[in-house]
Amino acid sequence: MPAGYYGITAVATDTNGVSTTSASVSVVASTASPVVDIVSPSNLITIPTSTFNIVAQAAESYNGTISKVAFYNGTTLLGTVISTSNPYTYTWTNVAAGPII
CATH number of the structural domain spanning residue 11: 2.60.40
Mean pLDDT of 61-83: 89
Average pLDDT over residues 57-86: 90
pLDDT more than 70, % of the chain: 92
pLDDT value for 21: 92
Note the pLDDT of residue 24. Answer: 92
Q: Does pLDDT of 100 surpass 70?
A: no
Residue 53 pLDDT more than 60? yes
Q: For position 1, what pLDDT does the model report?
A: 67
Q: Which of 18, 39, 47 is nearest to 89 (CA)?
A: 39
- Cα–Cα distances (Å) from 74 to 3, 23, 81, 99, in that order, read 32, 50, 17, 11
Residue 56's pLDDT band (boundaries 50, 70, 90)?
very high
- Cβ-based burial of 81 (10 A; exposed 0-12, middle 13-18, buried ≥19): middle
Is residue 99 one of the residues assigned to a domain?
A: no
The pLDDT, as a whole number, for residue 82 is 94
Q: What's the number of domains the chain is made of? A: 1
Mean pLDDT score, 90-94: 91
- On whether residue 47 sits in a domain, the answer given is yes
What is the domain extent for residue 10?
4-93
- pLDDT band at 60; cut points 50, 70, 90: confident
